[in-house]
Amino acid sequence: MLKQNKWKILITTLVILIPMLIGCLLWKQLPSAVITHWGANNEADGFSSKAFAVFGMPAILAALHLLCIVMTAADPKQKNIGTKPLGLVFWIIPSITLLIFSIIYAGAMGVQVNVGFFVILLIGVFFILLGNLLPKTKQNYTFGLKLPWTLNDPENWNRTHRFAGWCMVLAGVIILLTAYWQNLWIFLGVLLLAVFAPVAYSFIYYKRHPSQK
């Protein structure tokens, strides 16, 4: 997998490092302490040095990106992941990096950004995307609900991931529709339901089909 996707690995890693270039171009305009974290009330509550924000954070994200790819390549069933879900593995961190640094640099330049709103929108879109990809995966150890029952029974895996796909899409739509209010309880409730409902479904299916245990 690594050899076949070497150009994709290179390109996605370079995308993660783009904020370094932008940071260098904005260096003189950036404050010495850059906001790198916001609380639930959209108030800044975490700062980093300019050097760490510009160089350290992209480097850490690039290392995490490469680690995820290596771990995926080490999956003995990585061929079952599928082309589109594998594309998510390659592009999820680069996409998040560009969004994060757009917010960080905008805040550093004095632009008021509703961080919570954009983060919730991102999560909603991610859930919808994930919901469309889950039913397309076969048994593997990287992508999906890796439970004892799903890994031991292909039918359990397939049914659980079809159900999980619907749950994720529904959760994503609800999150997008309620993003404006940024209600933490609605968000957490939908998030927990989307995660635990498929787990419960998988376990119930396992208990009802003893011949496939």
> What pTM did the predictor assign?
0.87
Alpha helices per DSSP H over 43-178: 50-51, 57-73, 83-108, 115-133, 148-152, 154-177
pLDDT-derived band at 212 (thresholds 50, 70, 90) equals low
Q: Determine the Cα–Cα distance for residues 167 and 2; give it in Å rounded to an integer.
A: 32
In eight-state DSSP terms, residue 37 is E
Check whether 213 has a pLDDT greater than 80.
Answer: no
> How do residues 36-77 score in pLDDT, each as one tens digit?
988 767 788 889 999 999 999 999 999 999 999 999 999 998
Tokens standing for 56? 């350290």
| Phi, psi of 159, rounded to the nearest 5 degrees | -65, -40
Higher per-residue pLDDT: 105 or 183: 105
What single string gives the DSSP state of each residue in 66-101?
Answer: HHHHHHHHT-TTGGGS-HHHHHHHHHHHHHHHHHHH
pLDDT value at residue 209 = 84
Average pLDDT, the chain: 92
| Ramachandran quadrant class, 21 (left: phi over 0; alpha: psi -120 to 50; beta: rest) | alpha
